[in-house]
Amino acid sequence: MTTSNTLNLLHGIIQEVNDAPNLKRALAVIVCRVKQAIAADVCSVYLNNSEQQEYILMATDGLCRDAVGKVRLPMGHGLIGVVSERAEPLNLSEAATHPQYVLTSETGEIGYHGFLGVPIIQHRKVLGVLVMRRRKSLCFADQDVTFVMTLAAQLAGAITHAKASGELKRLQNQKDLNNKFFQGQPGSNGIAIGNLLVVYPLADLNAVPDHPVEDLEAEITTFKNALARAYADLDALAKRTKGWLSDEDQALFDAWKLMLQSDILSEDVIQRIHNGNWAQGALRETIHEHALIFEEMEDPYLRERARDIRDLGQRILMHLQDNVQTREYPQQTILAGEDLSASQLADVPRERLVGVISTTGSKSSHVAILAYGMGVPAVMGVTNLPLGRMDGLEVILDGHHGRIYIMPTPGEREEYQRLANADRALVESLDVLQGLPSCTLDNHPLPLYLNIGLASESHPMMGIEEASGVGLYRTEVPFMIRDRFPSEEEQIDEYRRILTLFHPKPVTFRTLDIGGDKSLPYFPINESNPFLGWRGIRISLDHPELFLTQVRAIMQAAIGLDNARILLPMISTLEEVDEALELIKRAYQELLEDHILFAMPKIGVMVEVPAAVYQVEAIAKRVDFLSIGTNDLTQYLLAVDRNNREVASLYDDLHPAVLRAINQILVGAIKQNCEVSVCGEMAGNPMAAILLLGMGITSLSMNANSILPVKAVIRAFALGQARELLKRALNCDFAAQVHKLLENALESEGLGVLVR
Ligand code: PEP
Ligand code: MG
């Protein structure tokens, strides 16, 4: 096979497996395609059933089909056991000569000699084994082995997804409902019980979820109109391209138009609408089914027609989505999606939003931080959630453990209601701290500031009274919720609103920090490595017109109030600091020249890139304050994408390397007599707050929900105790030791509940 043939083949198989509606179909596709691809006489797949400690034959092409689901081998048994336990391929010319070979006669395996077993692995766990057999006594060629390994490495995700879809069906059939949950990662603490509202990208047929039909006749009319408009489009396109497209290509339009007119397609969709699915879902299912028929054909020309059918489906969908009215949010909305954005969250009326689920991302993603800031529980990175079939279902979301329970039993609902009440009781128990100063047992003050900005203005601001001011206002949101850059006047209005709300307390405006996982719909940035790309200050300096507008807006908003501070994100060189300071001075001068008189705001730099850690003294000399962005600093120090669920378990801001870097920042800043705050999520973690106190931090800035738990911890320790704990933490080799040390410390002060 040539490289491009192999790639096409791999992509084709993976696509088909991904599109399979259930596990059975996915496995049938795998065994059939793999057997063809490497010219084996048999291909079978065994999946591990860890509950019963056995391998089950799940699909076969070549052996006796009656054995499927019946042949069960004890774990560790036979050649499947060898492949599964070693997690490595096994390639034999004569299977029977291997000491662990066991003949399973029910499969009709007699007469085969060559054997290739390849493990299917996901997250270090063997899910099953692909087994190829051949009649000849001959090993499989190296390129066959690597082909199957390459495929197997990508099949794991599709298999777990298909398995999960099957699981959901089973749950929907009300069988075996007890204690079944989908596992993700805790994104924001708390329990939510509500109904799912699935948001999905438009113009992607595969992403369309099922949804019950509300008005049958209206739905059918909508579909027929979309069909007619798709037809008119194609007709116009055919006319426009006449003369410069070949007759053969022109004929394709006729074929598509015929398909649109044929009753087969539209009747199938309408039947599905009658069965209760809305037009978009009915179209997705129909197109999928028709495309599969073509995909299974031997003739490559006919197989290609599957693509035409999918293209047609896409066209009809476009017209259907033109017509969608805004969807109604359930009373208790749990918003779910593949890659939720901050503005999608902000779109939900605050009083209806009770939970957030994202199939991607981790707790350091901005969506999770936003949910936490709003006091809304969230579960991130739930890999296998079959979102397409879940719209409207009742779920329990356990943000403490990162679990989702679909259609809970009355027992589960009762249990989780009890836990939600306990959460509420904990929050209420901290209310006694309201109004008390944030200082240690020996009266050392540690002011606590608020992080705001991710939530839209429709969300009420919490913690105004408790906080000493705003330590981080992420100014991205006024930029994100518009369809163009906000004008200077619009920015002045927004910033002045916040400055007035907090006056006379200071408000720290971080200048525009887009890029990474925060993009503006009207300013797309396409990069293969966005977190290492055009982000934060880099964009501002490349677009001084945007930066100057923002800085002028902050300065004018503060006239007469004088409580604004400016913070520069993503600084990695001194040149950036100097250039930004130059521009800020220019903006100040311009306003003075216009006879607008006010005090120059204090300027700070975010230390969130490792380079800034090593130049901290030089930076501190140039500015009034530093603010440590531990969210980014952790991702850059540990080389762990904060948004990637695959590596989320490696992301830990209590990693000894992160602690040492932060300590180094403080040592440098203190030498230069420069104030230092922490505004990353670490500041709101009661355990970490003790260490930061020990390091001599000037203040902490966090989401409103964290203020009282952090205050509780600060008030329970003396500065000397914090320094002692810090000394011990800095001597730890492992993050787990740091966690244990701090958990024990909080436990011994009766605050264990804050870390459980
Ligand atoms: C940080 O990186 O710690 C930070 C506060 O900024 P953001 O999370 O917005 O990147
Ligand atoms: Mg940051």
Give the CATH number, domain containing residue 484.
3.20.20.60
The CA dihedral of 278, 281, 285, 288, to the nearest 10 degrees, is 140
355 versus 259: which is more confidently predicted?
355
What is the spatial order of strands in the sheet that 42-49 belongs to? Answer: 72-74, 54-61, 42-49, 125-134, 114-122, 90-92
Residue at a domain's end among 562, 588, 605: 605
Residues 395 and 455 in one domain: no
Residues 68 and 128 in one domain: yes
Residues 284 and 401 in one domain: no
pLDDT digits (tens, 9 = 90+) for 333-389: 999 998 887 777 877 888 899 999 999 988 888 888 888 888 899 999 998 788 887
Residues 569 and 589 in one domain: yes
| Arithmetic mean of pLDDT, 750-756 | 83
Burial call 237-255: b when 16+ CB within 10 Å, e when fewer:
ebeeeeeeeeeeeeebbee
d(CA 506, CA 518): 26
Q: Which atom of ligand 1 is nearest to the CA of 630?
A: 3
Instruction: Please state, for a pLDDT cut of 70, what percent of the chain lies above it.
Output: 92
Question: Judging by beta carbons within 10 Å of its beta carbon (0-12, 13-18, 19+), is residue 748 exposed, middle or buried?
Answer: exposed
The answer to the question of residue 712 being in a domain is: no
> Ligand 2 centroid to 396 CA: how many Å?
31
Q: Which atom of ligand 1 is nearest to the CA of 472?
A: 5
Q: Global pTM?
A: 0.77
Looking at residue 52, its pLDDT comes to 81
| Arithmetic mean of pLDDT, 667-681 | 97
Q: Is pLDDT above 80 for 418?
A: yes
Highest mean predicted confidence (pLDDT) among 345-354, 481-490, 529-538, 592-601: 529-538
The answer to the question of residue 147 being in a domain is: yes
> Ligand 2 centroid to 606 CA: how many Å?
8
Q: Which atom of ligand 1 is nearest to the CA of 682?
A: 3
For 423-426, which contacts have Cβ atoms below 8 Å and span 24 or more sequence positions? 423/189, 423/190, 423/191, 426/753
> Ligand 2 centroid to 536 CA: how many Å?
8
d(CA 719, CA 689): 12
What ligand has the least distance to the C-alpha of 365?
1
| Arithmetic mean of pLDDT, 234-241 | 73
> Ligand 2 centroid to 623 CA: how many Å?
18
pLDDT digits (tens, 9 = 90+) for 709-720: 999 999 999 999
Do β-strands 378-380 and 448-452 pair in parallel, antiparallel, or remain unpaired? unpaired
Nearest CA to ligand 1 atom 9: 474
> Ligand 1 centroid to 690 CA: how many Å?
20
What ligand has the least distance to the C-alpha of 364?
1
698 versus 318: which is more confidently predicted?
698
Looking at residue 324, its pLDDT comes to 57
Residues 424 and 554 in one domain: no
Q: Is pLDDT above 50 for 522?
A: yes
Both tokens of residue 232? 């008119």
| Arithmetic mean of pLDDT, 114-143 | 92
Distance of CA 80 to the CA centre of its chain: 35
Q: Is pLDDT above 50 for 556?
A: yes
d(CA 305, CA 295): 8
Q: Is 608 in the pocket of ligand 1 (CB under 6 A)?
A: yes
Burial call 152-186: b when 16+ CB within 10 Å, e when fewer:
beebbebbbbbbbbbbbeebeeeeebeebbbebbb
Cβ 313 vs Cβ 281: under 8 Å: no
Establish whether 366 is a catalytic residue. yes
Residues 161 and 309 in one domain: no
Out of 632, 642, 679, mutate this one to test ligand 1's pocket (max ligand atoms within 8 Å of CB): namely 632
pLDDT digits (tens, 9 = 90+) for 442-471: 999 999 999 998 654 434 466 788 999 999
| Arithmetic mean of pLDDT, 544-561 | 96
Instruction: Please state, for a pLDDT cut of 90, what percent of the chain lies above it.
Output: 55
Looking at residue 174, its pLDDT comes to 44
| Arithmetic mean of pLDDT, 718-727 | 98
d(CA 376, CA 362): 15
For 149-154, which contacts have Cβ atoms below 8 Å and span 24 or more sequence positions? 149/89, 149/118, 150/10, 151/10, 151/13, 151/14, 151/34, 152/118, 152/119, 152/120, 152/121, 153/121, 154/10, 154/14
Establish whether 679 is a catalytic residue. yes
DSSP state of 139: P
Looking at residue 527, its pLDDT comes to 92
Q: Which atom of ligand 1 is nearest to the CA of 513?
A: 9
Residue at a domain's end among 303, 321, 339: 321
Distance of CA 336 to the CA centre of its chain: 11
Q: How confident is the model at residue 13 (pLDDT cuts 50, 70, 90)?
A: confident
Of 312-321, 410-419, 490-499, 725-734, the one with minimum mean pLDDT is 312-321
Residues 498 and 577 in one domain: yes
22 versus 124: which is more confidently predicted?
124
Looking at residue 457, its pLDDT comes to 42
> Where does 263-421 show beta strands of DSSP type E?
333-337, 353-358, 378-380, 394-398, 403-406
Residues 254 and 189 in one domain: no
> Ligand 1 centroid to 674 CA: how many Å?
20
List residues bridging with 129 in a β-sheet. 46, 119
Q: Which of 290, 366, 459, 655 is catalytic?
A: 366
Residues 223 and 265 in one domain: yes
Nearest CA to ligand 1 atom 6: 629
Residue at a domain's end among 545, 570, 605: 605
| Arithmetic mean of pLDDT, 200-215 | 82
Highest mean predicted confidence (pLDDT) among 51-55, 58-62, 298-302: 58-62
| Arithmetic mean of pLDDT, 55-78 | 90
The answer to the question of residue 692 being in a domain is: no
Q: Which helix (H) or strand (E) holds 625?
A: strand 625-628
Give me the residue label for tokens 């000399």: 621
Both tokens of residue 14? 């993976």
Looking at residue 374, its pLDDT comes to 82
d(CA 411, CA 413): 5
The answer to the question of residue 728 being in a domain is: no
Residue type, 79: L
Looking at residue 178, its pLDDT comes to 45
Nearest CA to ligand 1 atom 3: 629
> Ligand 2 centroid to 511 CA: how many Å?
11
Q: Is pLDDT above 60 for 175?
A: no
Both tokens of residue 689? 């707050």
> Ligand 2 centroid to 149 CA: how many Å?
38
Residues 7 and 111 in one domain: yes
Q: Is 19 in the pocket of ligand 1 (CB under 6 A)?
A: no
The answer to the question of residue 722 being in a domain is: no
Q: Is 515 in the pocket of ligand 1 (CB under 6 A)?
A: no
Residue range(s) defining the domain that contains residue 133 = 3-176
606 versus 303: which is more confidently predicted?
606
CATH number of the domain to which 379 belongs:
3.50.30.10
CA-nearest of 521, 651, 509 to 587 is 509
Of 115-129, 496-510, 550-564, 598-612, the one with minimum mean pLDDT is 115-129
Alpha carbon distance, N-terminus to C-terminus of the chain: 56
Structural Rg of the chain based on CA atoms: 30
Looking at residue 363, its pLDDT comes to 86
Residues 483 and 597 in one domain: yes
The answer to the question of residue 228 being in a domain is: yes
Q: How confident is the model at residue 517 (pLDDT cuts 50, 70, 90)?
A: confident
Q: Is 680 in the pocket of ligand 1 (CB under 6 A)?
A: yes
Both tokens of residue 591? 């306003």
CATH number of the domain to which 21 belongs:
3.30.450.40
**Residue 322: count of CB within 10 angstroms of its CB:** 12
Residues 596 and 547 in one domain: yes
Half-sphere exposure of residue 393: CA atoms within 13 angstroms, side-chain side: 24
Cβ 577 vs Cβ 571: under 8 Å: yes
> Where does 8-92 show beta strands of DSSP type E?
42-49, 54-61, 72-74, 90-92
Angle, helices 686-695 vs 719-730, to 10°: value is 100
**Residue 405: count of CB within 10 angstroms of its CB:** 22
Out of 362, 474, 658, 703, mutate this one to test ligand 1's pocket (max ligand atoms within 8 Å of CB): namely 474
The answer to the question of residue 639 being in a domain is: no
Q: Is 629 in the pocket of ligand 1 (CB under 6 A)?
A: yes
Average pLDDT, the chain: 88
Question: Judging by beta carbons within 10 Å of its beta carbon (0-12, 13-18, 19+), is residue 425 exposed, middle or buried?
Answer: exposed
Q: Is 709 in the pocket of ligand 1 (CB under 6 A)?
A: no
DSSP state of 358: E
Q: Which atom of ligand 1 is nearest to the CA of 454?
A: 9
d(CA 545, CA 210): 46
The answer to the question of residue 677 being in a domain is: no
d(CA 399, CA 424): 14
Residue type, 96: A
Q: Is 630 in the pocket of ligand 1 (CB under 6 A)?
A: yes
d(CA 428, CA 432): 8
Q: Which atom of ligand 1 is nearest to the CA of 679?
A: 5
List residues bridging with 91 in a β-sheet. 116
Q: Is pLDDT above 60 for 399?
A: yes
Number of domains in the chain: 4
d(CA 679, CA 697): 11
d(CA 18, CA 8): 15
d(CA 189, CA 402): 9
pLDDT digits (tens, 9 = 90+) for 183-207: 899 999 999 999 999 988 777 888 8
